[in-house]
Chain A
Amino acid sequence: EIVMTQSPATLSVSPGERATLSCRASQNIGSNLAWFQQKPGQAPRLLIFRASTRATGIPGGFSGSGSGTEFTLTISSLQSEDVAVYYCQQYKNWPLTFGQGTKVEIK
Chain B
Amino acid sequence: EVQLVETGGGLIQPGGSLRLSCAASGFTVSSNHMGWVRQAPGKGLEWVSVLYTGGTTYYADSVKGRFTISRDDSKNTLYVQMNSLRAEDTAVYYCAKRHSSDWTFDHWGQGTLVTVSS
Contact = CB atoms under 8 A, between A and B. Distances in A.
A44 to B, nearest CB: 6
Contacts, number: 55
Interface residues of A, number: 24
B87 interface: no
A100 B45 CA distance: 8
A91 B45 contact: no
B85 to A, nearest CB: 20
B104 A46 contact: yes
Interface residues of B, number: 20
Interface in B20-66: 37, 44-47, 50, 58, 60-61
A56 B2 CA distance: 13
B45 A43 contact: no
Chain A interface SS verdict (over half): loop
Which A-B residue pairs are the 9 nearest by beta carbons? A91-B103, A34-B104, A43-B108, A96-B47, A98-B45, A49-B102, A100-B44, A46-B106, A101-B44
Interface of A: 32, 34, 36, 38, 42-46, 49-50, 55-56, 87, 89, 91, 94-101
Interface of B: 37, 44-47, 50, 58, 60-61, 94, 99, 102-106, 108-111
Given A34-B104, A46-B104, A55-B106, 9 more contacts: A32-B102, A32-B103, A43-B94, A43-B108, A46-B99, A49-B102, A87-B44, A89-B45, A98-B46
